[in-house]
Amino acid sequence: MTGKRILLIVGGGIAAYKSLDLVRRLRERGMSVRAVLTQAGAEFVTPLSLASLTGQEVHQELFSLTAEARMGHIELSRDADLVVIAPATADLLAKAAQGLANDLASTLLLATDKRVLAAPSMNLRMWLHPATRRNVETLRGDGMLFVGPGDGAMACGEFGPGRMSEPLEIVAAVEAALKGDTTIPLPGAKPRPLAGRRVIVTSGPTHEPIDPVRYIANRSSGKQGHAIAEAAAQAGAEVVLVSGPVTVPDPAGVKTVHVETAREMLQAVEAALPADVYVGAAAVADWRVGSEVVEKLKKGPSGPPSLGLVENPDILATVARHAKRPGLVVGFAAETQKVIDHAQAKLMRKACDLIVANDVSPATGVMGGDANTVHLVSKAGVETWPTLPKPEVAQKLIAHLAALIHAKEGGA
């Protein structure tokens, strides 16, 4: 569990002293802890105690201009891998069940996109009260996790259910929760068929230097490749986009690595492996100048210089035959004639699973344009799609790849 981030909300109750030991136990296991202390919780433990044990600032106020400038309550609620309430008082549970947000703790519980683990602590009659029972059932139905409470002696002198679980019991519940996906999708959100998958996408052209001011390139805009990376992220994948020089912005939710040459692109792709899917949408330059010139080439009486060209590395073929080969390798074929024939030959030559072929003749306007007409070429045959905006091509392609993955795994 090393590297996991816990947001700990400390409610008001005598059991709050256990939260200090809980922090220590979590950090012993390599987790980082950021603490939120309620107004009632501060009656039992001090911010200084929590700050000393967490090694981080303790958050208490919803409307703190300093905190909002650095880390607002929305970011704070989403920065963790798991939210833990310990102790979870009857008041905190009631606020969470009813969706109230009148202080920092309740606002974080309403705004978080992560699972919440509650360790209840209260008087036995409060725990057994019908209102608390209704709230707990509501919260369980909403996906909140619970650990405890146990039976034991209360600070009030009574004995029964309501005693907060011990720190090691809570740690065990934390570790169990972190073994699964702790992200909560938005209600009504689109399906995430690539959740838990890793996807590498290349996009744009490469620039191969001739001299310090000139280079060999092509007209690729990167619009299609960037749209594919964004669609993969929206489908739930962890996406690494290796982009050549483009003017389109980096897509949201994607790790983008910027490169210039084909050799740099290959190096970045290999560094990003392993992955479940590789989509080579970049228009990689086939050739580069064999010997780089350190000074600008000048006109002279002998006429134009002779540029000795050498082949660039074949990124698609390298990935398709790599020791860490992704389960699905997809290439692109930008052609100006015999589009299907060339794509079928490329499919066999490169040893990939699918070729997305398109006609990039000047009359089509595909290079640098906003629409695309593609043909999916595989061993199973050819599937031609109608002309669509590039973002729609990307979404349709990602849905197709997700279906291929699930079909392959289902048949395994």
How far is 170 from 176, CA to CA, in rounded Å? 10
What 8-state DSSP symbol labels residue 100? -
Q: How far apart are CA 185 and CA 192, in angstroms?
A: 9
Dig out the tokens for 133 from the structure. 């029972």
Pair of tokens at residue 142: 């909403």
Backbone dihedral angles phi then psi of residue 388, each to the nearest 5 degrees: -135, 155
Alpha-carbon distance values, 154 to 125, 157, 162, 163, 307 (Å): 11, 5, 8, 7, 86
Say which DSSP state 185 is in.
P
Decide if 264 contacts 315 (C-beta within 8 A). Answer: no
> How big is the CA angle at 390 (ends 389 and 395), to the nearest 5 degrees?
100
Residues 60 and 37: beta-carbon distance below 8 Å:
yes
Instruction: Please give the structure tokens belonging to residue 381.
Output: 């045959």
> Choosing from 131, 156, 348, 407, which is the catalytic residue?
156
Q: Are strands 328-335 and 287-289 parallel, antiparallel or unpaired?
A: unpaired
* CB 226, CB 303: distance < 8 Å: no
Contact 54, 23 (CB under 8 A): yes
Identify whether 156 is a catalytic site residue: yes
Q: Which amino acid is at 280?
A: G
Is omega for the bond preceding 187 within 30 degrees of 0, making it cis? no
Q: Phi and psi of 263, rounded to 5°?
A: -65, -40
Q: What is the dihedral of CA 59, 60, 65, 69, to 10 degrees?
A: 20
Query: Of the candidates 104, 95, 41, which has an alpha carbon nearest to the alpha carbon of residue 75?
Result: 104
Q: What's the rounded Cα separation, in Å, for the pair 341 and 252?
A: 36
Distance between CA atoms of residues 122 and 131, nearest Å: 13
Answer for the pair 232, 398: CB distance below 8 angstroms, yes or no: yes
Instruction: Write out the catalytic residue numbers.
Output: 156
